[in-house]
Amino acid sequence: MSDSSSPTVNDSAGNGKRRAILAIIAIVFVLIGVAWYLLWMFVFSQRETTDDAYVNGNQVVVSAQVPGTVVAILADDTQRVETGQALVKLDPTDAQVALAKAKSALAGAVRQVRQQTASASQFDAAIAARKIDLARAQADLKRRAPLLADKAIAPEEVAHAREAVDNAQAALDLAQRQSAASHALVDGVDVAENPSVMQAKAAFREAWINAERNAIVAPTSGFVAQRSVQVGNRVQPGQPLLTIIPLHNLWIDANFKESQLANVRIGQPAKIESDLYGGKVEYDGKVVGLGAGTGSAFALLPPQNASGNWIKVVQRVPVRISIDEKQLDQHPLRIGLSTAVKVDTHKRDGRMLAEGGASAPVAQTDVFARDFAKAEAEADAVIAANLPATH
C-alpha cells in the first residue's frame, strides 16, 4: 500500500514547485512591466532624443571693400585671427595718389574760403569809401544848386554835380551787392564748417578710408577657412576672399520629427554628445528656438505633394540648441560635426515660438567705425594746417 501512494505525493510536490516557479516568473515579468511603465512615464516620456543633429555656427565671409590687386596674404586656412587683424593687402598706389589729390583739394578749399572771407572784408571797406564819396558828391551838389538860381555858375556844373551824386550812389549800391555776395559765401559758419570745405573734407575722408581699406581686416575673431584669394588676383568690392568661423559661439541644429515637437518648449535644458568625443564629453545646452518651417519647405526643390503619386513622409523641424561657451573652450567643436541630442521636456510651461525682437545685436563689429574716426582726425589736421596761425 505504501508503495502505491508514493508517486502521488511526488507529483503533487513537483506541481507545487512548477507553480511556484511560474508564479515567480510571472511576478518578475509584472515587475519588469511595471518598472518599464514607470520608466517610460517618468523618464522616456519626459524627453525627446534625436541623432539627426549637427553643429552649426556663424560663417563670416570676408570680402574686399575697394578694388585692387592682391600683394600680400597674411592669414591662411586653420589659423586663428583676431578682430582688426590684417588678412589681405592690396596694392596701395592708386589709393595713395587719390588721397594726395583729395588732401590738396581740401587744403585749397580752406585757403579759398579764407580768401573769400578777406574779400568780404574788402567789400565792407569799399562800402565805407563809397559812402564817403556819395556824401561828398551830395554836399557838392547842395552848394552849387542855390548858385544856379542867381546865375552865379553855369547849368553844366550843376548837372555834373548831379551826375556825380548818381555815380556815387551807383558805386555804393554795387559795393553793397558785392559785399552781400561775398558774405553769402562765408557768413554764419567758420572756415571748417564752410560748405566748400566740408565737401572737400568728405572727399578727403573717402579717399583716406579707401586707402586704409587696401588692408582687409578681420571683422571678428575666429579661424580661417575656405581661403580662395591668391597673390596677384584682381579683386572687386564684395568678392569673397576667405571665411572666418568663430568656434567659441556655436549651436546645435537638431532636426526632430514633427511627432516629437508637441512638448518641446523654448528654455528646456538639453544634453549633447558629439561623435568627436563620444560619451566622454557631455555638453549642457538649452532650447533657444524652433524653426519656422520644415527642412523640406526651404529646400531648393520643395516637394510637390499635390501630385497623384504621393507617399507620406514624416517631416523634421530644426530646433536650435545653444551650447555652454565654457565647455566649448574646454572641448572645441567644428561646424558640421554629428551629435546626439536629448531634450528634457519635463517643464512644459514655456513658449513654442519666440516673442518680440532681439534686445541686442545678434552680431556686431566696430573695426570699420575706427576708419571713420581716424579719417576725421586726419582731415581736421589738414584744415588746421591751412588756417592762419592766429585763428
Tens-place pLDDT, residues 86-104: 999 999 999 999 999 999 9
- Which H/E stretch holds residue 33? helix 2-42
> DSSP letters along 183-197, please?
HHHHTTS-GGG-HHH
Establish if 371 belongs to a structural domain: no
**Structural domain span for residue 197:** 94-211
Q: Residues 270, 244: one domain?
A: yes
Establish if 389 belongs to a structural domain: no
In what side-by-side order are the strands of the sheet with 215-217? Answer: 215-217, 86-90, 68-73, 234-235
In what side-by-side order are the strands of the sheet with 80-81? Answer: 60-63, 240-245, 222-225, 80-81
Provide the mean pLDDT of the chain.
84
pTM given for the model: 0.72
The cell 585763428 sits on which residue? 391
Average pLDDT over residues 308-318: 84
| Dist CA 349 CA 334 (whole Å) | 33
Question: For the segment 232-242, what is each residue's pLDDT rounded down to a tens digit?
Answer: 999 999 999 99
Which pLDDT band holds residue 28 (cuts at 50, 70, 90)? Answer: confident
Q: Residues 86, 223: one domain?
A: yes
Cα-trace Rg, the chain: 45
Question: For the segment 337-355, what is each residue's pLDDT rounded down to a tens digit?
Answer: 999 999 998 888 888 888 7
Q: Is the pLDDT of residue 152 over 90?
A: no
| β-sheet bridge partners, residue 272 | 283, 341
Cell of 80: 586663428
Q: What is the CATH number of the domain that holds 78?
A: 2.40.50.100
Kindly report the backbone phi and psi dihedral angles of residue 199, in degrees, each rounded to the nearest multiple of 5, phi listed first: -65, -45
Domain boundary pick from 211, 229, 248: 211
Q: Residues 243, 342: one domain?
A: yes
Average pLDDT over residues 119-139: 75
Q: Domain count of the chain?
A: 2
